[in-house]
Amino acid sequence: MKNSQYRVVGIMSGTSLDGVDLVYVTLNVNEKGWSFELEKGQTISYSAAWRTKLKTAIGLNKEALDRLDEEYTLLLADIITAFIQENALETVDFVCSHGHTILHRPDLGYTLQIGNLPLLADLIQHKVICDFRVQDVLLGGQGAPLVPIGDRLLFGDYTACLNLGGFANVSYENALHYRIAFDLCPVNVLLNEQANKLGLLYDPEGSRAQAGTVCQPLLEALNALEYYAKTPPKSLGVEFVASNIQPLLELHVLSPEDYLATFVEHMAIQIANGIQLPKQAKILVTGGGAFNTYLMSRLSFYASSYEFVVADDLLVNYKEALIFALLGTLKVRDEVNALASVTGAQYDHSSGVIYDIFDPVW
């Protein structure tokens, strides 16, 4: 018999490299559906050394990647154990971890999230559900985005859910009641890099971007990138930035403020163009970019017919970690947690790997 309540730790590390997000959540399910209580949320920032390791890992060979995978698993184990102990979490049914994406090329049939080794369960002494993307790619899908099943089950009161993290992605039900979701454009993965040049981890409220000047030739080149003309399902990774955006930046040498201003304009245009919804659609906004008031103002300018609702701070920061807790719970229940209509996989499926202590189960 399946349980009606689960107390779960969810973990997410995004491409913006802010750190490791952890939540402790109670998930309830009954005949009316799913509900949640987000009880604890914490972000453990990466050290400068770890940010550099993760940012440059895309260029590593297999042997070096394997070493990094082990090192990162040890790091996650320490972070998770400290979170459980410091918050005196007496009941943890299991831990659900996304890991950190290093490689994502579904078009070539592979994706890699480090920190998903069986060792993790033994180190933290809890059942672990992880490695959610690989199976979807093997089934011909993009392996992303995976969050939309959570948008459907937990946030169905909204027309759509927009996440402004390392990349922007949107999720909504189409006219045939299929969940549609896809990546729209890079966000914090670009903004934070320029903020770093100014000695900042990020651009508070977009003030530096607002002080800059938009470079029209660069803006036009960014908007002309082939990805934006593709139809979903589609997804983005750091490879896209390296191969498509970085060459454009080398052709347009600007101050960090002007890069930021141009990027924000580009993001607002692409997000507005990518969201095709009825007027007065109510859109829940989460992710670190939701705090960028300048980005939100430019987005509202280009998409003035929509109502953008920025979630409360806890949900803004931890929605993805919350939903990965749900994804792991669905896996434990052997229920669908990856939607073919979203990823392009051959069929809906229950993705992820379950590691019991000393007893891995696929």
pLDDT at site 17: 86
Q: Are residues 84 and 173 in the same domain?
A: no
pLDDT band at 145 (very low <50, low <70, confident <90, very high): confident
Please give the structure tokens belonging to residue 356.
């019991």
* pLDDT above 90: residue 270: yes
Choosing from 297, 315, 333, the residue where a domain stops is 315
User: What is the rounded average pLDDT of the residues 176-202?
Assistant: 94
75-98 pLDDT per residue, tens: 999 999 999 999 999 999 999 999
pLDDT at site 359: 53
Q: Are residues 208 and 336 in the same domain?
A: no
Q: Are residues 198 and 273 in the same domain?
A: yes
Q: Are residues 118 and 174 in the same domain?
A: no
CATH code for the domain of 155: 3.30.420.40
Which residues face 94 on adjacent strands?
Answer: 8
Domain count, the chain: 2
pLDDT band at 227 (very low <50, low <70, confident <90, very high): very high
pLDDT at site 291: 95
Q: Are residues 284 and 181 in the same domain?
A: yes
pLDDT band at 362 (very low <50, low <70, confident <90, very high): very low
Q: Are residues 190 and 311 in the same domain?
A: yes
Q: Residue 55 in 3-state DSSP?
A: helix
Measured CA to CA, the distance from residue 326 to residue 193 in angstroms comes to 31
Please give the structure tokens belonging to residue 79.
């972070």
As a whole number, the mean pLDDT across the chain is 95
User: What is the rounded average pLDDT of the residues 341-359?
Assistant: 91
CA distances to 132, 206, 271, 298 from 329, rounded to whole Å, are: 12, 36, 31, 37
Residue whose C-alpha is closest to residue 173's, from 202, 153, 189: 153
CB neighbour burial string for 182-194, b if at least 16 within 10 angstroms, e if fewer: bbbbbbbbbbbbb
User: Is-contact 101 237, C-beta < 8 A?
Assistant: yes
Q: Residue 43 in 3-state DSSP?
A: strand
* pLDDT above 70: residue 73: yes
150-170 pLDDT per residue, tens: 999 999 999 999 999 999 999
CA 25 from chain center: how many Å?
18
Q: Are residues 176 and 188 in the same domain?
A: yes
pLDDT at site 295: 98
pLDDT band at 19 (very low <50, low <70, confident <90, very high): very high
pLDDT band at 121 (very low <50, low <70, confident <90, very high): very high
Q: Are residues 40 and 186 in the same domain?
A: no
pLDDT above 70 as % of the chain = 98
* pLDDT above 60: residue 361: no
pLDDT band at 35 (very low <50, low <70, confident <90, very high): very high
284-320 pLDDT per residue, tens: 999 999 999 999 999 999 999 999 999 999 999 999 9
User: What is the rounded average pLDDT of the residues 44-51?
Assistant: 95
* pLDDT above 90: residue 135: yes
* pLDDT above 50: residue 47: yes
Q: Give the H or E element holding residue 25.
A: strand 19-30
Q: Are residues 288 and 191 in the same domain?
A: yes
pLDDT at site 13: 95
CB atoms within 10 A of CB 125: 12
User: Is-contact 150 326, C-beta < 8 A?
Assistant: yes
Please give the structure tokens belonging to residue 50.
């770890």
Q: Are residues 244 and 342 in the same domain?
A: no
User: What is the rounded average pLDDT of the residues 204-224?
Assistant: 97
Residue whose C-alpha is closest to residue 117's, from 67, 180, 62, 164: 67
pLDDT at site 285: 97
pLDDT at site 342: 92
168-187 pLDDT per residue, tens: 999 999 888 899 999 999 99
Q: Are residues 112 and 51 in the same domain?
A: yes
pLDDT at site 176: 87
Q: Are residues 217 and 336 in the same domain?
A: no
Please give the structure tokens belonging to residue 266.
């580009």
3-state helix, strand, coil in the chain (%, to 5): 45, 25, 30
pLDDT at site 16: 78
Classify strands 160-164 and 167-173 as parallel, antiparallel or unpaired.
Answer: antiparallel
Residue ranges making up the domain that contains 134: 5-143+319-361
